[in-house]
Structure 1
Amino acid sequence: MPRSREQNLEIRNQRSEDILHAALNVFSRRGMVATKISDIAKEAHLSHGLVYHYFASKEEIFTRLVRRAADSSVQIIEQSQLQAGTPLAKIKWMTEQIFQSFSEGQYILLFLIMIQASTSDAVPDEVKQLLSSPEFKSPVSCLVPLIVEGQQRQEIIQQDPVQLAVAYYAFIQGLAINKLQWPQAPVPDAELIIKMFK
């Protein structure tokens, strides 16, 4: 019996996800320049040609992963803003969610993809344009309004809100990289990071 249109779409979506999952692992280990489509195919247990059926190039795959990484960072901030409580309580909630996700290897690897995207000259032009676009929502720019609100409520220190947001994400990225290098590394309590805002 032939598959329905919905079944075909589900298979296509799952295979695309499998390729992206495999590519994330390979890009994280080998970097953008050294990765080949054949490496991604091998990691995904798919044929070289089948990967090309879903994606035109490794650059397209990398760009999709950068978009996913950026979106996931912004989504967690947007979710935190829906939580009850003060701005500082919302930042603490967000920090706890991020730390909890550290146990999911894929989430941590997205941090590496964003670091590659913003530091490597070899990334696709589309990624460079995305990151420099005025419409691009960076996690730092999305966190700043929450910090400003906390400062207006006198619960966050009166320092430059952009500098505070940058320091916050530097701390988070550092912990993510440390966790990749040392999987057994203890993740601090969210309160430790929150102290920087007080």
Structure 2
Amino acid sequence: MPKSKERCQEIREEMREKILHESMLFFARNGFAGTKISDLSKYIGIGQGTIYAYFQSKEELFNEITKRINYEQDVKELKMLTMLPITAKHKIHKLTESIMKKLENDENYAAKVTLNTQMLFEEKEYASVDTTYRSDLYKYTAKIIKQGQKEGSVVLGNEIKLTDYYWSIVYLYSLKKLFTAQYESISIQDLERILLKDGIKNNA
């Protein structure tokens, strides 16, 4: 019995979603430059022609994926956190708790972190130490770190480098969640310890 027009459309949408989801994971592992459509099609288990039936090029596919990893809400939340009238120690705890919950419960968040970092690596404009931190996530994290250094709760050092170290650990564990069979996450306290002098023992 021939499929209805509606069912054919559903099948097309299902395949498109499959390509986007699997491609997001593949790009997260290999980066844009390291991804070939031939390798991607093997990873997904479909022919290259099927991918091209939905997306004209690797660039178009990647652009569609980046729309799905928009950090607008994450940046908005972090920006609001920097403005709260609380200590930097509290802010770092809230940020870290939020990140760890998302990593634990949302595979797409791990892919978002990984892809965002990959894009920073690959963009020429982010090549130098001075310009890497145009990312708003990095900018607001650095602002919290600087506040904490003034308050005496955050370790001393260049706030930009400390920001990089903090998000690099998040990136590492995002990769582990996505691509290792036995994923073991660090604790909130372990991640906080990167920045805080004495953890989160005292919330004052």
**TM superposition score category, shorter chain reference:** 0.5 to 0.7
* Residues 98/107 of structure 1: CA separation in 2 closer, same or farther (3 Å cut): same
Normalising by structure 1, report the TM-score: 0.65
Give the match for residue 119 of structure 2: 117
Query: After the TM superposition, which residues 169-184 of structure 1 pair with which residues of structure 2 at under 5 Å, given as runs?
Result: 169-184=167-182
Query: After the TM superposition, which residues 96-115 of structure 1 pair with which residues of structure 2 at under 5 Å, given as runs?
Result: 96-103=97-104, 104-115=106-117
What do the CA deviations read for 1:44-95 (whole angstroms, capped 9, x no partner)?
Answer: 9xx546523xxx5321332454465462553452253366632221121111
Give the match for residue 123 of structure 1: none
Secondary structure of the 1:118 match is helix
Cα RMSD between the aligned structures?
4.1
Normalising by structure 2, report the TM-score: 0.64
Deviation at 1:19, TM superposition (A): 5.4
* Residues 43/23 of structure 1: CA separation in 2 closer, same or farther (3 Å cut): farther
Aligned residues: 180
Q: Does 1:86 align with 2:84?
A: no
* Residues 89/165 of structure 1: CA separation in 2 closer, same or farther (3 Å cut): same
Alpha-carbon separation, structure 2, partners of 1:158 and 1:66: 35
What do the CA deviations read for 1:117-148 (whole angstroms, capped 9, x no partner)?
Answer: 2345xxxxxxx377579995342222111111
8 Å contact kept, 1:28–1:112:
yes
Q: Which one-letter code corresponds to 2:87 in the other structure?
A: T
Give the match for residue 61 of structure 1: 61
Identical counterparts, % of pairs: 18
Deviation at 1:43, TM superposition (A): 7.2
8 Å contact kept, 1:91–1:194:
yes
Q: Which one-letter code corresponds to 1:173 in the other structure?
A: Y
In structure 2, runs of 5+ residues without a counterpart are 1-12, 198-204
Structure that is richer in helix per residue:
1
Alpha-carbon separation, structure 2, partners of 1:106 and 1:36: 21
Deviation at 1:171, TM superposition (A): 1.7
* Residues 48/67 of structure 1: CA separation in 2 closer, same or farther (3 Å cut): closer
Query: After the TM superposition, which residues 69-80 of structure 1 pair with which residues of structure 2 at under 5 Å, given as runs?
Result: 69=69, 71=71, 74-80=75-81
Range with greater deviation from structure 2 (14-23 or 91-100): 14-23
User: Which of 49, 54, 59 pairs up with 1:51?
Assistant: 54
Secondary structure of the 2:193 match is helix
Q: Which one-letter code corresponds to 2:177 in the other structure?
A: K
What do the CA deviations read for 1:10-54 (whole angstroms, capped 9, x no partner)?
Answer: xxx9998665434313423565344429839x679xx546523xx
Q: Which one-letter code corresponds to 2:88 in the other structure?
A: P
In structure 1, runs of 5+ residues without a counterpart are 1-12, 121-127
